[in-house]
Amino acid sequence: VHHDLPNELGDLQPQFLSDNRYFVCPTARRLGLTSADLTEWGASGQTTYDYEFGRNPIPKVMAGGSPSTMREWKQLQMGLIGSDVAMVRCHTHEKASLELSFGGRIYESAGLDWEPNFKDVVDPQDLTFGRCLATFLVQKTIVLPKRAPTTTPDLIDLSEHYNLTLDEVWPGQGVSCPFAALPSGISEFAGTSFDVRGAVQLGAMRPGLVHYPVRVTGIKLGILARTIQLLVGTAHSAAPQALVAEFVFHLANGQQQPLQLHYGTDVSECVVALPNSSPPLEQAKLAWSGATKQGKGVKLYQCCWTNPLPSQIVNSVDFVNREGNAGPLLLAISVGRGP
Ligand SMILES: [Zn+2]
């Protein structure tokens, strides 16, 4: 109705939640406690829960506080880990905090903080407001070519997710622009058409001026698919067979289907010393091979996912960084609907 989040949980009453008991955790009622009593911040009275997407300044009790709002901080956290950021929390339970995420998932945290749950994908320090707000200051703005109006829906539109342009200089790679010579717009690679206008880069663990997210969630597909072709590479090398990234496909029946990318088998480094210096990969086609102005080789790979349930619409896909600092890149997604 409002196209916005509520400022506090009480705003949901009475239009969206008629009954007061939805605001009171049964454990909190039994113990006569609220989450605000235990965290020493937040509204008490209306609810026993802790709501973290309000427009109130970050309170002093959290590492000294900040004039930035809780919502600004939480939205920056979502840029790093997606919709698993805790939105409504209950601290009145003895053994764990209970979290309801922005995306609707319920999970437990061992202590007062939920951030350590994600320590395998992002350094918990990067989720603190100090780090999030500092990073925000160097967030870059990119301008990308517009999607051609004739593009068919099977060439998935990544416009909302690109964070790298094709003519961008890569830090640490000298003055090279690895994708400068890559054909852009609707282009065919290894027999498949793709809409190529930019790239989605992951990898938050490698310190750099620009901070890339460890996951990009909810890439909208909304299409029947027998196979899905993915145009991929990595910014850096990794150990042989390391699990560097994963695609998680969300089917209309609620099932999730993963596609894992292992280094050296499914994906490899885009920039190599010489144009012909990298061996072929077992599970991926070489989609494109070029050279930089400095004479280095550039490669892109094409991975294929086969839908085990082709009668189910594929609603969306998540692109997730796994081990290490390879910096996985996704350039395009193309859906195969034929047999
Ligand atoms: Zn509770």
DSSP for 193-257 reads EEEESEEEE--SSS--SS---SEEEEEEEEEE-SEEEEEEEESS---TT-EEEEEEEEETTS-EE
Q: Could you give the angle at which helices 70-81 and 129-137 cross, rounded to 10 degrees?
A: 80
What pLDDT, in 10s, does the model give residues 15-52?
898 887 889 999 999 999 999 988 888 876 679 999 99
Average pLDDT of the residues of the chain: 89
Q: How far is the CA of 39 from the centre of ligand 1 (A)?
A: 14
Q: How far is the CA of 118 from the centre of ligand 1 (A)?
A: 22
Q: How far is the CA of 17 from the centre of ligand 1 (A)?
A: 18
Q: How far is the CA of 120 from the centre of ligand 1 (A)?
A: 26
Q: What is the pLDDT of residue 134?
A: 77
Q: How far is the CA of 25 from the centre of ligand 1 (A)?
A: 4
DSSP 12: G
Gap between the Cα atoms of 235 and 255, Å rounded: 31
- Taking residues 99-118, what's their average pLDDT? 93
Gap between the Cα atoms of 286 and 111, Å rounded: 46
- Give the containing element (helix H, strand E) for 79: helix 70-81
Q: How far is the CA of 295 from the centre of ligand 1 (A)?
A: 61
Q: What is the pLDDT of residue 207?
A: 47
What is the DSSP pairing of strand 297-306 with strand 285-291? Answer: antiparallel
Q: How far is the CA of 43 from the centre of ligand 1 (A)?
A: 16
For residue 99, give the nearest of 117, 121, 81, 82 by alpha carbon. 117
- Taking residues 215-243, what's their average pLDDT? 94
For residue 112, give the nearest of 133, 97, 93, 131 by alpha carbon. 97
Gap between the Cα atoms of 250 and 312, Å rounded: 10
Return the half-sphere exposure (C-beta side, CA atoms, 13 A cut-off) of residue 253. Answer: 9
Q: How far is the CA of 92 from the centre of ligand 1 (A)?
A: 6
Q: How far is the CA of 45 from the centre of ligand 1 (A)?
A: 15
* Positive or negative torsion for Cα 30, 36, 40, 45: negative
Total-model pTM: 0.64
Q: How far is the CA of 52 from the centre of ligand 1 (A)?
A: 15
Cα three-residue angle 152-157-285, rounded to 5 degrees: 85
Neighbours of 267 (CB within 10 A): 27
Q: What percent of the chain has pLDDT over 70?
A: 92
Q: How far is the CA of 232 from the centre of ligand 1 (A)?
A: 43
What is the DSSP pairing of strand 198-201 with strand 271-272? Answer: unpaired
Q: Which residues contact 211 (CB under 8 A, 6 or more apart)?
A: 80, 126, 135, 138, 139, 204
- Taking residues 263-290, what's their average pLDDT? 86
DSSP 36: H
Q: How far is the CA of 29 from the centre of ligand 1 (A)?
A: 9
